[in-house]
């Protein structure tokens, strides 16, 4: 398994501002994903972070609102832009090696509250 560190672990932000969440993995991984978990809900995929190219977004999520970077095989960022209270959620980074891997692994999450 991979060790995944997310920063910050939590934050309280003013509406209209932006927050960048960092995800650092202790080994090179093929696939990195970002998920959102709204209060009391399940996890929903935001996008797949592609190394060296633009992220692939799921229906309902757009690059202007959730820009993603992935400069190498161990690091990715997710920015939540122009935040509103509806963006209050836990944001989770996930990784999979893609071959011979026994599952997908998650960071501890970033708990975001927008006021």
Binding site for other proteins (CB under 8 A): 1, 4, 6, 30-31, 33, 41-45, 48, 58, 92, 94, 96-99, 101-109, 111
C-alpha R_g of the chain: 13
* Closer residue to other proteins, CB minimum distance, 63 or 84: 63
Least Cβ distance, residue 40 to other proteins (angstroms): 9
DSSP line for 5-49? EEE-SEEEE-TT--EEEEEEESS--SEEEEEEE-TT--EEEEEEE
* Closer residue to other proteins, CB minimum distance, 11 or 58: 58
* Closer residue to other proteins, CB minimum distance, 49 or 83: 49
């Amino acid at each position: 398994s991979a060790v995944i560190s997310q920063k910050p672990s939590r934050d309280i932000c003013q509406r209209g501002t932006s927050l960048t969440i960092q995800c650092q993995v202790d080994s090179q991984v093929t696939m990195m994903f970002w998920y959102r978990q709204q209060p009391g809900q399940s996890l929903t995929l935001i996008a797949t972070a592609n190394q060296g190219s633009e992220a692939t977004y799921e229906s309902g999520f757009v690059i202007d609102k959730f820009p993603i970077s992935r400069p190498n095989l161990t690091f990715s960022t997710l920015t939540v832009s122009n935040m509103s209270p509806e963006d209050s959620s836990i944001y989770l980074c996930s990784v999979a090696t893609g071959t011979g891997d026994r599952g997908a692994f998650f960071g501890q999450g970033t708990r975001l509250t927008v006021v």
